Structure 1
Amino acid sequence: MGQAQTLMACEVTYAGHTQTVVAHPVADPYPVPAVDIAGRFRFKPIVVGDDRRIRRVLIYVYLETDAQPVLIQQAKYLPPFPAADASGNIAITGQQYLYAGALERELIYQCHLKGVAP
């Protein structure tokens, strides 16, 4: 049985609906697209590195506006990462709560690395 593929899975919740956004390691973070979240937010998780070594994790969250997306959170996580739990997942962000826009819309997310070699 081979080693699991390295990836980051983020559970993103808006308006009671949760979706999983997956990010695989990339060498160049710039072309990674943001994922639309119900037309209200854009969520962009990035894992820079490869299956052998994660160099950094980046997360960008944007509020959709009529003019253009507005950055409301930028986060960077660098190794060493926390220890994996019993299932082999590494909690990167913890549960995050973001509020933005005139109505203070709430976006909740948390991200875990999976398949990272010890």
Structure 2
Amino acid sequence: MADRRLALLASLLMAAPCAQADSVRCHIVYGGEPFTVDATPTDAPYRVPAQKIGRYFEFKAVYVTAPARAAAINLYVYAIASGEPVPIHQAKHRPPFLASGGPHGFTGLHFVYEPSKGSELQYWCERLP
């Protein structure tokens, strides 16, 4: 099972479209299907929309660079099994942002579970210079 996950993540890297300079790319696997979410620097973090991932999840990546005191990469996972998005996971990464922290970027590999269905979403993110 772990080999299959690694193969899926590797295929994400090869199949992913080019990202804009100074961006964040998150690699997501849900139900064996790969997804990619890109984020570029924004000064309007509350306007960044979440993206639907499969049937039960939404994922949002927010990359804030200014003002400097608020600089962060914020990652959110929402469960939508009940119809309305409910936040179930949040991660905040402060500068310095590393281009890569290993095989699973600066975040490491995360596993997030939808509470009522038990569905699993996996993700990791990297910063692209």
Same fold (TM over 0.5): yes
The alignment partner of 1:91 has SS state of coil
Distance in 2 between residues matched to 1:47 and 1:96, nearest whole Å: 18
The alignment partner of 2:47 has SS state of coil
The alignment partner of 1:30 has SS state of helix
Residue 41 of structure 2 corresponds to 25
Distance in 2 between residues matched to 1:83 and 1:47, nearest whole Å: 14
Higher strand share: 1
Distance in 2 between residues matched to 1:36 and 1:24, nearest whole Å: 18
Higher helix share: 2
**Identical positions, percent:** 35
TM-score, normalised via structure 2 length:
0.73
1:19 counterpart letter in structure 2: F
Residue-by-residue CA offset, 1:38-73 (whole Å, 9 max, x unaligned): 1210000010027xxx92100010000334111101
1:69 counterpart = 2:85: yes
Distance in 2 between residues matched to 1:72 and 1:96, nearest whole Å: 13
What is the aligned residue count? Answer: 106
- Which of residues 98, 107, 122 in structure 2 aligns to 1:93? 107
Residue-by-residue CA offset, 1:64-109 (whole Å, 9 max, x unaligned): 0334111101111101234647xxxx92211000112323100000
Residue 59 of structure 1 corresponds to 75
Bigger relative contact order (CA 8 A; separation at least 6): 1
Distance in 2 between residues matched to 1:102 and 1:56, nearest whole Å: 30
Change (3 A) 1:67 1:16: closer
Q: How much is the aligned-residue C-alpha RMSD, in angstroms?
A: 2.3
Q: What are structure 2's unaligned runs of at least 5 residues? A: 1-19
1:32 counterpart letter in structure 2: V
